Amino acid sequence: MPELPEVELTRRRLERELAGKEIERVESRAAKLRLPIPVELATVLTGRTIRSVGRRGKYLLFDCEAGWLVVHLGMTGFLRHLHDPSPPGKHDHLDIWLTDGSVLRFHDPRKFGTVAWTQGDPLAHPLLAGIGPEPLTPAFDGAYLFRVSRSRTVAVKLLIMNAAMVAGVGNIYANEALFRAAIRPDRPACSLTQEECDRVVHFIREVLSESIEQGSTYRVAEATVAYHPLEFAVYGRGKGNCTRCNGPLEETRLGGRSTVFCPRCQR
């Protein structure tokens, strides 16, 4: 599933390629993904210019003059800007044609993505209104994490993956940040000290920033997309050894998600 770095890299790519381009027409080949695709898109987007591409958590926000196109990539979705588009395939559900002959195509095999439209403040849209602070901004700091964790017995990994607490920290980067912070992912959030909260925030920012910075290897091809350029210390390495102590890593499940950690280095 695309996580915050991948969505941010997508945003930067599309901002670079699409800003200032005019929409010629919209073709939708699915009534719904995770939610119904707005039937008014063909009417409201035709003739509009894409002024910018923003992001809130894992949502992409296209400023289209008359309103905002809000897109979530879901589990398997990705957006391709095709200059010489081939005929759409089975999982190509939405085409936004531009006046230069190129097309922005939304591909989503599992149809867990979301396409929404709003003419109001996109940050007030029900999909976005309850999202917590962005992890790469000053609003997310150790003092904030310490404050919101005081009464919560939920595992710290689940707390930082809760979008209402902090935007866009998914399973991959939660595993990595907690390993670097030397915090067990299953510890009750309320057991964290202020110093530990400071460490968790620092390493969340670090792993997200590193993945974005290494995004030169991120690419979208005609039929596939490559994510996660970062070399992981624990994610996906449940049968491997710790890169610090060389002891065996442990793998469990928290909130239905694979969780890998070192029982000696993480306390």
Active site residues: 2-3, 58, 257
Q: Which two tokens stand for residue 97?
A: 């044609």
DSSP string covering 96-129: EEETTS-EEEEE-TT---EEEEESS-GGGSTTTT
CA 230 to chain centroid, in Å, comes to 15
CA 22 → CA 116, 151, 179, distances in Å? Answer: 19, 50, 46
In whole angstroms, what is the distance from residue 253 CA to residue 234 CA?
A: 14
Q: Give phi and psi for 203, each to the nearest 5.
A: -80, -25
**Beta partners for 115?**
71
